[in-house]
Structure 1
Amino acid sequence: MGETPCVSLLKATKTPKYRARIVALKEGEDDYEQPLSPGARFFHEPGYNVYIIAQMGVKDPIDVDELKANIPIILDKYRCFSRLAVTDKNGNMRWVPTRVNVDDHVIVPKIDPNMESADKFVEDYISNLTGSCIEYSKPLWDVHILNTKTSNGQGTYVLRAHHSLGDGMSFINLLLSYSRQASDPKALPTLPVNKKSHHHTTRVTNFISFCMVVWNTLVALVLFVFTTMFLKDTETPMKASNGVEDRPRRIVTRSVSLDDIKVVKNAMDATVNDVIVGVIQAGFNRYLNRRFGENNKPVPENIRLRAMISYNMRASTNVEAPSSNAVNEHETWGYKVGYILLPFNVKYRSDPLDYVREARAIMERRKASLEPFATRFYAKLLIEKLFGMKVAGKLNRKVYYNTTFCFSNIPGPKQRICFLGQEVTYVAPSLYGIPSALMIHVVSYVDKVTFILSADEETIPDPQKLCDDLQQSLQHIKCSVLAKPCVEN
């Protein structure tokens, strides 16, 4: 059984050199060896060694033996977890199959039953993990089992995996495919679908709308290209300094009521995503006013503050039950995203509802464009036709350094779910190793929306206060709506 990993610098790990063949799973499986996709290769470039780290709370203590018994079943379907990332003599990287020793990947640390705060222990444990990396001598994932009673349940899974294995939606679908609705053990979970906010539903109804889509796409692409070269956000206390990708992070969560968000959504004819973006804008205004005030400085006028968003390019997000066949990784797994640069207006507004109105206007412009498709094409053009991986990797990191934070809004299951027979109380995915001081994931689950902040404490020493600002901003916006029952009419 594994032990708690020691801390090592993220940038220190190197991939093993490729030799003729690593251990094959079966005789004659040579076609299973594959080169890394350009998207996956990005995550092995210097300064961009990114890991997904996800918490999942369960109602009862976790049965470690049952988990170990199920892992080979999962590996048989998702074979990317049975591969090594290796480098050949020419510097090319390939996925090479190997046999997996489950005990090397399931970590069960010894826990003091008399600890003062189990919640603080889990938070500190995860923070410690964000300063370490997984050795390339084994597949790049592990699962940490923390069987201690917290405010969210009796046990906590902590899944850590290198981002080159797949994007966020890949991992969400893996989790949900092995889950069932708590109320119906035979039914798969379902995800909410908001067609109004989906880029794939961008419609061209006439010549004017066609021109608007073309124009918005062109403007977005030009701004993205400029950002890879020189266009920077305003220097604020939230802006990262050099070396941020190699520092440990503090990951904190805060849950709010989904009904509160829907009250605002319905009153203002907006989407849930519009409201969330408005809440973040208002929360950032509160946070920056406090941080600048600590140094007796006014908040600068006309702050340029943008989020880097990875946008899911899959045509479908349906949850599929696992079968006896391995997944078709070219279609359902891997790294299939485009990029969006989303501006956030953090000016003070006397009417809190203005933050949501502005967010709705910004999102409407994004929906009337093909920005993620254009930026994905631009990234592939840089890699395959113009400069190659090294230059493209540097430009990619520059986008993160020139913007302020990363943002992701992931719809979670509408029903309570059970994973391997255990009821899940919350799910909180995040990242570390990114060249940004702040990453905000927003995940819905049943009647809650959870903000997950991954913060560099050197830049943002008080991420819990930022959570307070987000929560209070939602309450102010909701109170403003209740005070004006006919907001838009």
Structure 2
Amino acid sequence: METIGSLKPLNIERSAAENEMTPDDEPLSPPALLFQTPRLKCYVMATMGSKTKWDPSRVKLGLENTLAKHPRFSSLLVMDERNDGKMRWRKTKVNVDEHVFVPKIDLDKMEDSADEADKYVEDYISDLHKTKMDYSKPLWELHILNIKTSGASGVVVFKVHHSIGDGISLMSSLLACTRQSSNPMMLPTLPTSSRVRSHSSSKPKGLWCTFWTMISMVFNTFVDILILAATALFLKDTDTPIKGSPESGYAKKRMVHKLINLKDIKLVKTAMNTTINDVLFGVTEAGLSRYLNGRYASKQGENAGYEMASKTRDFLPKGLRVRAALYVNLRPSAGIEAFAKIMGNETKLESGNKFGYVLLPFEIGLRDDPLDYIRRAKATLDRKKLSFEAVCSFAIGLFVHKSFGLQTVASLMHNIVSKTTVSFSNVVGPQEEISLYGHPLAYVAPTVYGAPQALTMHWQSCGDKMVLILTVDSNVIPDPHKLCTDMEVSLNSIKDTLSKRGLITVK
């Protein structure tokens, strides 16, 4: 594991003038510095499946014209030991050949087995996570695996150090390299949320609602910060079969994903008058409940297994505390077009890391009515929207950093996150089918390695699909594919219930 001490220092043998700060040098932001500490060293990994084989020469040419021109993707991380010992970004010329890897694969062993190919890709990504990054060049790599899996004809794995940017800025940068498959000249489009405003409310009612909203936000924020403080001091999640140890961030992880029809999620959303986030959170709660019930059944020596346990008996202990750490981007999204202009040297844009986090409680339990999972999810998320928890968590981190130093805030964040069970996020993707450097994509599956939890869960929309990505500590969750299946089964159960009640029509 590399540490801060392994960063490439500036050459102190140079002249004094050469060692001075240059106008182009940029200091790392506090969140970026956090991701350079040993306790919070994280990597973003994005797996992209193509409907065709990958052409390495086209990929390299595309990278030269896009990411290699991005300010962060074309900068070295250096430490100025002569002056203040601080880390800075320093522009450099990118040699794309040093960042693209095409391993040799024995295709004969996997010609007739998609399962073997899937396992090979999963093993490759798992090993890649533990491979040290070379600090003598910009902190990103792209690996081309021309192997036919169950969901693609070829796969690329993009690995980037989390200090380069948060999930939103990195995903926006990646999507700015893509084009619509139906129109290679057009950038992808992201869905926009539309809010319907009622004009029937009278002015006094509007004033009263505004006043009550303000009171609710102050109260909710106060309660959330108290819970955050309690978590930092003593409040931790129940030791369930999916709860990792504080050292889970160092463990070798395994990433799996599952493709789900986005139309099914939208059907549930419309029928229950909720948001896609509500549906995903409800499905997650239902899937975790189903999976944990099966794990507790096996723990008690039941031979019935997961399926029978989830259908016939409730093995879940009462009062389980299971929470997710949800990371919230605090910088207004500039849009894909803005990132495309950055790589075209047409504009400058603030990027990097700027996020807070909130603690989301799951109410683990088996429900007689599957729709209750969505209702409870909506209530939970609606309440969290009336809170400044994310902003306050970011502000507290900055205060601790300035007052007590980087290592203190790193220990604080590690302590809080490690006491929760799941890292959770949902990233909005393009509405249409897209291509990366002329290769039509079947899916995009991002995740983060290094979080001090045994389970990291991402939902990523892409065209007409929703991709569920799980990154797990295999010593804690040895069957992540089963957890994926439980998520899908839970969604189908909710959809079937709506269909039986005549609320949706399933074709």
Q: Structure 2-normalised TM-score?
A: 0.87
Q: Which residue of 2 aligns with 1:378?
A: 396
Counterpart amino acid of 2:98?
A: D
1:453 aligns with one of 458, 470, 475: 470
Q: Which residue of 1 aligns with 2:138?
A: 139
Q: Which residue of 2 aligns with 1:51?
A: 43
Write out per-residue CA displacement over residues 238-261 of structure 1, whole angstroms, 9 at most, x where no aligned residue.
Answer: 111242112211100011111211
1:465 aligns with one of 482, 490, 507: 482
Asked if 1:299 is matched to 2:316, the reply is yes
Answer yes or no: is the 8 Å Cα contact 2:140–2:161 preserved in 1.
yes
Asked if 1:112 is matched to 2:85, the reply is no
| C-alpha RMSD of matched pairs (Å) | 2.4
2:327 aligns with one of 303, 310, 322: 310
Q: 1:196 deviation in Å?
A: 5.7
Q: Which residue of 2 aligns with 1:347?
A: 365
Aligned mates of 1:262, 1:164 — CA distance in 2: 34
Write out per-residue CA displacement over residues 181-212 of structure 1, whole angstroms, 9 at most, x where no aligned residue.
Answer: 11122222111123569xxxxx9842112101
Counterpart amino acid of 1:431?
A: V
Write out per-residue CA displacement over residues 340-370 of structure 1, whole angstroms, 9 at most, x where no aligned residue.
Answer: 1111111221111111110010011011222
Answer yes or no: is the 8 Å Cα contact 2:4–2:37 preserved in 1.
no
Counterpart amino acid of 2:146?
A: N
Q: 1:76 to 1:242 in 2, by over 3 A?
A: closer
Q: Which residue of 2 aligns with 1:3?
A: none
Alignment of 1:15-34 (within 5 A): 15-20=7-12, 30-34=22-26
Answer yes or no: is the 8 Å Cα contact 1:10–1:433 preserved in 2.
no
Q: 1:289 to 1:264 in 2, by over 3 A?
A: same
Alignment of 1:361-372 (within 5 A): 361-372=379-390
Q: Which residue of 1 aligns with 2:306?
A: none
Q: 1:12 to 1:128 in 2, by over 3 A?
A: farther
Aligned mates of 2:222, 2:14 — CA distance in 1: 46
Q: Secondary structure at the match of 1:382?
A: helix
Counterpart amino acid of 2:497?
A: S
Q: Which residue of 2 aligns with 1:84?
A: 76
Q: 1:154 to 1:134 in 2, by over 3 A?
A: same
Q: 1:305 to 1:475 in 2, by over 3 A?
A: same
Alignment of 1:164-175 (within 5 A): 164-175=163-174
Aligned mates of 2:43, 2:424 — CA distance in 1: 16
Q: 1:486 to 1:149 in 2, by over 3 A?
A: closer
Aligned mates of 1:377, 1:291 — CA distance in 2: 39
2:281 aligns with one of 257, 277, 285: 277
Aligned mates of 1:434, 1:269 — CA distance in 2: 33
Aligned mates of 1:122, 1:281 — CA distance in 2: 28
Q: Secondary structure at the match of 1:115?
A: helix
Q: Which residue of 2 aligns with 1:101?
A: 95
Asked if 1:427 is matched to 2:419, the reply is no
Aligned mates of 2:347, 2:35 — CA distance in 1: 22
Answer yes or no: is the 8 Å Cα contact 1:50–1:431 preserved in 2.
yes
Aligned mates of 2:502, 2:162 — CA distance in 1: 45
Aligned mates of 1:73, 1:29 — CA distance in 2: 28
Write out per-residue CA displacement over residues 253-306 of structure 1, whole angstroms, 9 at most, x where no aligned residue.
Answer: 011111211221112111111111111111111111111222218532111111
Alignment of 1:35-46 (within 5 A): 35-46=27-38
Q: 1:416 deviation in Å?
A: 0.5
Alignment of 1:381-396 (within 5 A): 381-384=399-402, 386-396=403-413
Q: Secondary structure at the match of 1:39?
A: helix
Q: Secondary structure at the match of 2:9?
A: coil
Q: 1:160 to 1:365 in 2, by over 3 A?
A: same
Q: 1:60 deviation in Å?
A: 1.6
Q: 1:463 to 1:196 in 2, by over 3 A?
A: farther
Q: 1:152 to 1:145 in 2, by over 3 A?
A: same
Q: 1:153 deviation in Å?
A: 2.6
Q: Which residue of 2 aligns with 1:184?
A: 183
Alignment of 1:391-406 (within 5 A): 391-406=408-423
Q: Secondary structure at the match of 2:179?
A: strand
Write out per-residue CA displacement over residues 323-351 of structure 1, whole angstroms, 9 at most, x where no aligned residue.
Answer: 33265242xx2112121111111122111
Q: Secondary structure at the match of 1:206?
A: helix
Q: 1:10 deviation in Å?
A: 5.8
Aligned mates of 1:241, 1:318 — CA distance in 2: 37
Q: Secondary structure at the match of 1:81?
A: coil
Q: 1:13 deviation in Å?
A: 7.8
Aligned mates of 1:75, 1:20 — CA distance in 2: 30
Q: 1:138 deviation in Å?
A: 2.0
Counterpart amino acid of 2:108?
A: N
Q: Secondary structure at the match of 1:292?
A: helix
Asked if 1:65 is matched to 2:64, the reply is no
Q: Structure 1-normalised TM-score?
A: 0.90
Q: How many residues align?
A: 468
Q: Which residue of 2 aligns with 1:149?
A: 148
Aligned mates of 2:66, 2:14 — CA distance in 1: 21
Query: Any unmatched runs of 5+ in structure 1?
Result: 1-8, 198-202
Q: 1:459 to 1:10 in 2, by over 3 A?
A: farther
Query: Any unmatched runs of 5+ in structure 2?
Result: 111-115, 197-205, 302-314
Q: Secondary structure at the match of 1:136?
A: coil
Aligned mates of 2:357, 2:194 — CA distance in 1: 19
Aligned mates of 1:364, 1:125 — CA distance in 2: 40
Q: Secondary structure at the match of 1:144?
A: strand
Answer yes or no: is the 8 Å Cα contact 1:308–1:340 preserved in 2.
yes
Aligned mates of 2:183, 2:138 — CA distance in 1: 34
Q: Which residue of 2 aligns with 1:5?
A: none
